[in-house]
Structure 1
Amino acid sequence: MPDLLQGFSGSAFAAITRAPRRYGWHATLKAPFRLAAGRTEAELLDALLSLAAQISRFDLPALAVQRMGNFLALVPQQPSAELQALAQRCVVELHDFAAPLDEADIAARVKQGRLDEEQQALLRRWGYPHVMHRFRFHMTLTGDLGDLSAAQQAEVEAMAHAQFDDLPQPLTLDALSLLFEPDKGADFRLIARAPLR
């Protein structure tokens, strides 16, 4: 554990990072979904590989630690048309593989996320509210910090800056990955990595 986190036990640090550790170092381009009836994992993988083969790798804008609500993430510091276009293609071109949300799923998401009308419409259309122009690329660093004191939150944020402010820049986005959640709440597993051209 970094010396910077003097006020945190190992278990407290583990709790702060439990959510991002569960699904691994990643940035979501298409939100998790259940496979639609009649579709197979092999078909999904073929579609992902085909999509990746059409897209050239590209450099991301500089990433920096930033608060997003009650958690910390690495976030691009400049807009990227290439990144937005890639995320949109993932949502649209893989959409037929996703089982539709039922009304209970939609109601739970609306209640949990306090979504505005446009986000609710995006949720119903695409299965997730943070898509299209509402998409924000981010690489999650912590879980919800809302239960920590202001001093503890500042300490965690300082640790994140110490760890990530010297990242080599630019970083290249060179592949799409397909991950699988074997059981609800279980750690995600990597199925395949699809290199961009």
Structure 2
Amino acid sequence: MRYAIYYTPSMVDPLSVAAASWLGRNVYSGEAPETPMVAGFSRQELAFHTAVPRRYGFHGTIKAPFRLHPDTDEAALLKALMHFAGTMTPFEIPRMEIARLGEFFGLAPSVPCEQMNHLAASVVQAFDTFRAPLSDLEIERRNPDHLTAPQFSNLHRWGYPYVMDEFRFHMMLTGPIHPKLNTRFETALRDFFTPVLVDPLTISSLALFVEQEPGAPLRVHSQHPLGKLSAHRPVSGGVRTMAAAVSNGPHISESRATLAARRLQTSC
């Protein structure tokens, strides 16, 4: 079994609803929503090009999948993650946008977010003791010969190349896309996701994901809110307090999710 610490919106967030539909899998329930109708694409073609992110589920990597160190266990990891999340303050990424990320497409901040960079670096450092050392096979899977010197160093020190100064927050929406298909996919993604990218992305929790066995789809094990719920600390920009979000969030989010779903249907 492997664990990962990711960011993913709540189950009823409009972005989660849209992403589950696009990818063909709900990362919370594991169920496959009805495949959307996307202009210019057959359902088979869309399923093929989303196979890679579908297995991992809709997420932004904070700490990449790792095997637990023999000296610890899941209960200790959960306790540590709950405590850690309580020491962090929620924040916002003002704007997410569709971006070309190497061979892939996904969501990324329109401008770098230092709060996210700090959160990611803090998680990587705080939870490194829970990570079992990489095996030779795991190192080879990262294609070390193609990594830069800092990435190679990160791989051996932290178990993943793209951390610290090499970290770039993103949320994958496709597998590798041939350059000839770039325009088609970029247009389709913008049309599909624009209705749910109007508001800032609120980073108010960390999610523990689990991979039950090699190659199995990853699923949300548990969500861990950032900050003390009793402190009523507001998120920057005048967003509701965490306590209010917990007490009022489900009702508000469900209505927003319904609205977003209708907007997606009319735009496709």
- TM-score normalized by the length of structure 2: 0.68
Matched residue type, 2:171:
M
The CA deviation string for residues 124-179 of structure 1, in whole angstroms up to 9 with x for no partner, is: 00000000011000011111113xx61x3321111101122341321210100001
CA distance in 2, matches of 1:120, 1:15: 31
- Find 1:162's aligned residue among 187, 191, 209: 191
Change (3 A) 1:34 1:162: same
3-state SS of the aligned residue for 1:176? strand
CA contact (8 A) 1:110 1:120 kept: no
Question: Could you report, residue by residue, the CA deviation over 1:35-73 in whole angstroms, capped at 9, with x for unpaired residues?
Answer: 011210111111111110001110113110000111101
Q: How does 1:96-107 map onto structure 2 within 5 Å?
A: 96-107=129-140
Q: Contact 2:60 / 2:170 at 8 angstroms: preserved in 1?
A: yes
SS in 2 for 1:89: helix
Distance in 1 between residues matched to 2:147 and 2:91, nearest whole Å:
32
Q: Identity percentage over the alignment?
A: 38
CA distance, structure 2, for counterparts of residue 76 and residue 107 of structure 1: 30
Contact preservation (8 Å) 1:61, 1:79? no
Partner Cα separation in structure 2 for residue 160 and residue 12 of structure 1: 14
The equivalent of 1:139 in structure 2 is 171
2:141 counterpart (108, 119, 123):
108
Confirm whether residue 125 of structure 1 aligns to residue 154 of structure 2: no
Which of the numbers 65, 68, 74 marks the counterpart of 2:107? 74
Q: Which among 201, 204, 207 is matched to residue 174 of structure 1? A: 204
2:212 match: secondary structure: coil
- For CA contacts below 8 A with separation 6 or more, give which structure has more relative contact order: 1
Partners of 1:121 and 1:143 in 2: CA distance: 26
- Residue 219 of structure 2 corresponds to residue 186 of structure 1: no
Structure 2 residue aligned with 1:36: 69
CA RMSD, 1 decimal: 1.5
Instruction: Say whether the 8 Å CA contact 1:101–1:127 is kept in structure 2.
Output: yes
Taking structure 1 as reference, are residues 108 and 23 closer, same or farther at Cα in structure 2, changes over 3 Å only?
closer
- Mapped partners of 1:168, 1:42: distance in 2: 38
- Tell whether 2:45 aligns with 1:12: yes
Structure 2: which 5+ runs fail to align? 1-35, 228-268
* CA distance, structure 2, for counterparts of residue 3 and residue 62 of structure 1: 24
Instruction: Provide the C-alpha distance between the structure 2 equivalents of 1:65 and 1:185, rounded to a whole number of angstroms.
Output: 27
Name the structure with the higher helix share: 2
More strand by share: 2
Look up the equivalent residue of 1:140 and give its one-letter code. Answer: M
TM-score, normalisation: structure 1: 0.91
Q: Structure 1 stretches (4+) deviating beyond 3 angstroms?
A: none
Tell me, yes or no, if structure 1 residue 62 matches structure 2 residue 91.
no
SS class of match (2:62)? coil
Q: Secondary structure at the match of 1:142?
A: coil
User: Deviation digits for residues 92-114 of structure 1, max 9, x if unmatched?
Assistant: 00100000112332233134x71
